[in-house]
Amino acid sequence: MPAEEYSRMFVGETMLAKYVWVVTSEYKGAERPLCWVTQAGNGRTYETHVNWMHWASPRDKVTAALTFIESLRDEQTMLITSFEKVARFHEQLGRYGVLRKIGIVKQFYPDGEDAIFWQSRGRK
């Protein structure tokens, strides 16, 4: 993605958000961004979006997601919806104990695809 397009997308999405996080990892002795996470909402519920950088490997994504969800476990419970094609990613997070599958809603998405719902696990 060209830098100009990336900048427009980042600025456009973050201006609407109440919270913005940039998740980083160490790479060759320096910090580099892996994704940005935005939350928009009304104070009680928030819609969260994750935008991965193209260089984030599958291992980077699992590590970053674990770190992010773990950092919010005391503050909020997350309800996550996923397409079936990315369910394995969330299953992996479940193996680490931060998510649990809570159900499937048939034909949830506009194209008729089912949604799988996951819930983060609080510490308490």
> DSSP class of residue 4?
H
Mean pLDDT of 35-39: 85
Tokens of 38: 């935005």
- At 1 the pLDDT is 52
Residue 42 has pLDDT above 80, yes or no: no
* Confidence band, pLDDT 50/70/90 cuts, at residue 11: low
- At 64 the pLDDT is 92
Mean pLDDT of 22-48: 81
Q: What is the pTM of this model?
A: 0.75
Tokens of 122: 């609080």
Compute CA distances 89 → 12, 19, 58, 65, whole Å. Answer: 27, 24, 9, 10
| HEC string for 42-107 | CCCCEEEEEEECCCCCHHHHHHHHHHHHHHHCCCCCCEEEEEHHHHHHHHHHHHCCCEEEEEEECC
Which tops the pLDDT comparison, 94 or 11? 94
* Confidence band, pLDDT 50/70/90 cuts, at residue 59: very high
> DSSP class of residue 124?
-
Residue 18 has pLDDT above 60, yes or no: yes
Most confident stretch, 47-51, 83-87, 99-103:
99-103
* Confidence band, pLDDT 50/70/90 cuts, at residue 60: very high
